């Protein structure tokens, strides 16, 4: 194969394919139109009229565009360990491979049944029509077509599927042009990667993976003969549809190969007798984790565009750990059922788990059942976090340099002017505790101290800190903001808490580690580039206090027998209940609620309802993860 065409094309797969190429499949069979068209061509050649035909078709596509031709390819999405999660494509499910990566048996089988004189003709072969007629009569069926491989290729790439003499002549002219520009092996490579093999499968590699669950390079003679037999009528001869007919077609191909002397009688008999393990249809398969893969596709589309994702042959390594993802999905489904058994009618749940060291999303569940609702609550549902927002306020207090976890704050009645009225914050139980340390105020999730801190620090400062932590949802600097009077997604909360866990180092959460094209060229590299956005002492102080929330405060149901920091969240109307917590290696947010915003019922709290679910997930997720302690505030300089 020459070095200046196909190899260069493969190295440039990240470029956009020429828009003039249309992927049209019309399996060539010997018909009356074919015979008439070829007869006309023979007459033209005999009369020296081929030049005239070429002039008549001077407006035909320029076959030289194939020098830079990039056929559409299937994109694949994998978990962080390389396990396939999903494949996506447009109409054509295709993987492109080099000719050297295709089984010699398959190349011979295809040429035997489609164009046995491929390497001797110049694109058209008028005499093959007569041979095809004779072979078909002798066999009692169509065993050889009149169109050459080159003619089939230009028909698929450039021409309409109509069966007309004019199209056959155009096909012949383009074939001659193509053979003048490309070498035989290049044409055969293009053909084998372009041809339709049935069930929305295009190209030899994808077909081999589908029909036999192996690479095209590893096909046996028996498998190669069956695949070659499909080209004439892929769905009709498909072993998925009619295995008996597929075996009969295989025998026809093997017989033709023996007739040509390309295999021996013994090889033919052995191939016919070889048992075949048939694979499965791979086109339009469902995702193993649809909430995840839909989010990945959304992120890819924002970067590359929809067409590039569907046709670009991308290899996407995600941040998702499939084993952790399965634990998350099982946790959500099992606990949702358990809540129903206890009479709590919460119709939905969402979970996001992020590695604080990288801000890679390790697991994400957007709802109880994707088949009944594709709405992804983990990244699309904006719900009030309630007291799970208070850590933003207390971090701001520590970062101001005016407060420590042991500073005293007043849990006493207060009112603030709010327009023409007064806003009077109240604690969950309606009581007041007087002078208490900030540590205790957060451990017991007292509302009044949080509102007072918000007014002393300035609510706008809390908004600024929220933006540093990656919160993009709209936020109004209202008096009640410290109590969670804002709509956030579980992803936003999980990402912010992951930054607390990393002592202030932040990266934007992502589902994608790296994207390459099918040749291995890197298109996107999301290697973490964390930035220090928080004061480390203040972040460590917050973590120290949030450990108290789990040890002796509202989050005791989340204890894991190892250092844990976290915060409960419950809105006044019990419409949204949360627990968001972390260990040094994993931060997880869980939300429970109803899509129609109806209350969950009296007594529904983040500590009583969601903390146990969080614990259930984290115990399994951290089963093989070493116990680590958080860094202490005294390890950092105080602001």
Give me the domain span that covers residue 605: 324-635
Task: Please check the confidence at residue 261 and state whether its pLDDT lies above 50.
Answer: yes
**pTM exceeding the 0.85 threshold for the entire prediction:** no
Q: Is 443 a catalytic residue?
A: no
Nearest to 280 by CA among 203, 206, 229, 204: 206
C-alpha span between 523 and 586 (Å, rounded): 28
266 & 341 share domain: no
Q: pLDDT confidence of 260, banded at 50, 70, 90?
A: very high
Q: Average pLDDT of 415-444?
A: 94
The pLDDT value recorded for residue 34 is: 43
634, exposed or middle or buried, with CB in 10 Å at 0-12, 13-18, 19+?
exposed
Nearest to 382 by CA among 315, 447, 474: 474
264 & 330 share domain: no
Q: Average pLDDT of 108-126?
A: 91
In a domain, 281, yes or no: no
C-alpha span between 595 and 346 (Å, rounded): 9
CA 344 to each of CA 13, 68, 381, 550, 574: distance values in angstroms, whole numbers, following the listed order:
53, 61, 21, 24, 12
CB 550 within 8 A of CB 564: yes
Write out pLDDT tens, residues 467-499: 999 999 999 999 999 999 999 999 999 999 999
263 & 392 share domain: no
In a domain, 380, yes or no: yes
269 & 348 share domain: no
Task: Please check the confidence at residue 28 and state whether its pLDDT lies above 70.
Answer: no
In a domain, 40, yes or no: yes
117-131, 426-440, 555-569, 625-639, range with the lowest pLDDT = 117-131
Q: Is 387 a catalytic residue?
A: yes
218 & 362 share domain: no
C-alpha span between 498 and 359 (Å, rounded): 7
Q: pLDDT confidence of 131, banded at 50, 70, 90?
A: low
Residue 287 carries which DSSP code? P
- β-pair partners for 411: 434
Q: Average pLDDT of 22-51?
A: 42
CATH number for 368: 3.40.710.10
Please state the domain count of the chain. Answer: 2
The pLDDT value recorded for residue 71 is: 86
Q: Average pLDDT of 152-178?
A: 75
CB 386 within 8 A of CB 483: yes
261 & 351 share domain: no
CATH number for 41: 1.10.3810.10
Q: Average pLDDT of 51-58?
A: 52
Q: Which of 234, 253, 273 is the last residue of a domain?
A: 273
In a domain, 298, yes or no: no
Question: Active site residue: 114, 171, 179, 329, which one?
Answer: 114
The pLDDT value recorded for residue 22 is: 32
Task: Please check the confidence at residue 31 and state whether its pLDDT lies above 60.
Answer: no
Which segments within 117-191 are labelled E, that is strand? none
Question: Active site residue: 128, 387, 445, 502, which one?
Answer: 387
Q: pLDDT confidence of 17, banded at 50, 70, 90?
A: very low
In a domain, 297, yes or no: no
34 & 125 share domain: yes
Q: 147 vs 310, which has greater pLDDT?
A: 310
The pLDDT value recorded for residue 420 is: 86
Nearest to 493 by CA among 484, 504, 481, 505: 484
The pLDDT value recorded for residue 286 is: 85
CB 189 within 8 A of CB 98: yes
Task: Please check the confidence at residue 276 and state whether its pLDDT lies above 70.
Answer: yes
Task: Please check the confidence at residue 87 and state whether its pLDDT lies above 70.
Answer: yes
Query: What is the average pLDDT score of the chain?
Result: 88
The pLDDT value recorded for residue 147 is: 85
- Helix or strand holding residue 567 (H, E): strand 565-570
Nearest to 130 by CA among 206, 34, 271: 34
111 & 253 share domain: yes
358 & 248 share domain: no
Exposure on the CB side of residue 427, measured as CA atoms within 13 A: 18
Q: 42 vs 466, which has greater pLDDT?
A: 466
The pLDDT value recorded for residue 174 is: 86
- Helix or strand holding residue 53 (H, E): helix 50-56
Residue partners of 422: CB distance under 8 A and separation at least 6: 415, 416
Residue 488 carries which DSSP code? B
The pLDDT value recorded for residue 325 is: 98
150 & 250 share domain: yes
601 & 458 share domain: yes
Write out pLDDT tens, residues 355-400: 999 999 999 999 999 999 999 999 999 999 999 999 999 999 999 9
In a domain, 290, yes or no: no
In a domain, 308, yes or no: no
């Amino acid at each position: 194969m020459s070095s200046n065409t196909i190899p260069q094309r493969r190295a440039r797969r990240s470029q956009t394919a020429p828009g003039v190429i249309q992927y049209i499949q019309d399996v060539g069979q010997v018909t009356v139109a074919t015979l008439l068209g070829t007869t006309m061509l023979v007459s033209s050649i005999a009369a020296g009229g081929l030049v005239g035909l070429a002039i008549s078709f001077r407006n035909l596509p320029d076959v030289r565009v194939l020098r830079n031709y990039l056929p559409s390819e299937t994109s694949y999405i994998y978990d962080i360990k390389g396990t396939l999660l999903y494949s996506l494509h447009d109409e054509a499910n295709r993987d492109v491979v080099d000719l050297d990566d295709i089984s010699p048996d398959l190349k011979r089988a295809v040429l035997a049944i489609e164009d046995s004189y491929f390497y001797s003709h110049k694109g058209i072969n008028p005499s093959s029509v007569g041979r095809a007629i004779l072979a078909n009569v002798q066999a009692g069926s169509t065993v050889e077509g009149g169109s050459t491989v080159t003619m089939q290729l230009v028909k698929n790439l450039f021409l309409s599927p109509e069966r007309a003499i004019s199209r056959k002549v155009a096909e012949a002219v383009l074939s001659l042009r193509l053979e003048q520009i490309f070498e035989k092996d290049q044409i055969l490579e293009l053909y084998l990667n372009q041809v339709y093999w049935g069930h929305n499968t295009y190209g030899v590699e994808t077909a081999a993976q589908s029909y036999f669950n192996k690479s095209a390079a590893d096909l046996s003679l028996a498998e190669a003969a069956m695949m070659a037999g499909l080209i004439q009528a892929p769905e009709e001869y498909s072993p998925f549809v009619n295995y008996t007919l597929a075996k009969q077609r295989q025998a026809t191909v093997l017989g033709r190969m023996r007739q040509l002397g390309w295999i021996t009688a013994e090889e033919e008999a052995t191939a016919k007798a070889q048992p075949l393990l048939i694979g499965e249809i791979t086109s339009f398969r469902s995702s193993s984790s649809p909430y995840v893969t839909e989010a990945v596709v959304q992120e890819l589309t924002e970067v590359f565009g929809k067409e590039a994702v569907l046709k670009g042959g991308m290899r996407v390594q995600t941040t998702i750990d499939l084993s952790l993802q399965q634990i998350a999905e099982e946790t959500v489904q099992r606990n949702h059922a358990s809540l129903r058994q206890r009479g709590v009618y919460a119709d939905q749940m969402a979970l996001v788990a992020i590695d604080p060291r990288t801000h890679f999303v390790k697991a994400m569940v957007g709802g109880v059942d994707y088949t009944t609702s594709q709405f992804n609550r983990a990244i699309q549902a904006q719900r009030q976090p309630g007291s799970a927002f208070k850590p933003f306020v207390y971090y701001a207090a520590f970062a101001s340099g005016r407060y420590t976890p042991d500073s005293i704050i007043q849990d006493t009645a207060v009112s603030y002017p709010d327009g023409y009225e007064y806003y009077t914050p109240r604690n969950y139980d309606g009581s007041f505790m007087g002078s208490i340390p900030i540590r205790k105020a957060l451990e017991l999730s007292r509302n009044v101290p949080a509102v007072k801190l918000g007014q002393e620090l300035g609510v706008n400062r809390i908004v600024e800190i929220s933006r540093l932590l990656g919160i993009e949802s709209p936020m109004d600097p209202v008096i009640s903001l410290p109590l969670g009077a804002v709509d956030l997604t579980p992803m936003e909360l999980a990402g912010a808490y992951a930054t607390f866990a990393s002592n202030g180092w932040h990266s934007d959460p992502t589902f994608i580690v790296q994207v390459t094209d099918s040749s291995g060229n890197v298109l996107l590299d999301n290697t973490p580039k964390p930035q220090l956005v928080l004061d480390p002492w203040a972040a460590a102080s917050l973590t120290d206090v949030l450990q108290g929330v789990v040890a002796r405060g509202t989050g005791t149901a989340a204890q894991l027998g190892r250092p844990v920091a976290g915060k409960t969240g419950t809105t006044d109307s019990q419409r949204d209940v949360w627990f968001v917590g972390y260990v040094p290696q994993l931060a997880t947010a869980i939300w429970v609620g109803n899509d129609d915003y109806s209350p969950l019922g009296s007594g529904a709290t983040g500590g009583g309802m969601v903390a146990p679910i969080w614990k259930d997930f984290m115990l399994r997720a951290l089963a093989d993860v070493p116990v680590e302690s958080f860094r202490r505030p005294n390890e950092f300089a105080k602001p």
